[in-house]
Amino acid sequence: MIKKIIFPTLLILALVCSNKLQAQTSDKIAYINSVELLESVPGKIEATKAIEELNKKYKDELAIMQNEYNTKYTNFLANQNNLAESIKLRRMQELYELEQNINRFIKVAQEDVESQQKQLIEPLKEKMQEAIRQIGMEQGYTCIYDASNPAIAFITPDAIDANSLVRSKLLQGRR
């Protein structure tokens, strides 16, 4: 009687353990490199170019402002001994205001460039994330790691590089 209970129990236990081991060994893990993939997203080149052009405009304007400041500062230093005290104070105030304007301009320029980067690049990152998710679902991956993340210390040679699949998915969206 005990043999009739123990044998089926052991058989069921063996089957359950066998299924768990099989499920564990069938996990598919892949990796991508999001930095590399982002360059493949349609529209990335145009977005980068637009941000670079905006940055150049701000740099050019800043150079003009700094030249104006440097010219006035040089003139002030050369002539300060010959100026009346009230004129000297007015020119010092003018230099101070120019310096403040330059600092404000730099801050506004940085904020605008960051805003443009977010506005132009974030949708591309979202598109890439969606392509990664779709590849994960289509290929049955349990997990896809990002190799550009420094927290990943090791990727087994058996891992699947899903970059080409995601890149293909991104390019399909272009058509």
Distances (CA, A) of 152 to 37, 56, 148: 17, 36, 8
Give percent of the chain above pLDDT 70: 79
More confident residue, 115 or 19: 115
Written as one letter, the residue type at 162 is A
Domain borders along the chain are: 24-174
- Residue 19's pLDDT band (boundaries 50, 70, 90)? low
The residues, any chain, with a CB within 8 Å of residue 105's CB and separated by 6 or more, are: 58, 61, 62, 65
Predicted pLDDT of residue 25: 52
pLDDT in tens, 131-175: 988 988 898 888 888 888 866 656 667 778 888 888 888 888 666
| 160-161 and 29-32 beta bridge pairing | parallel
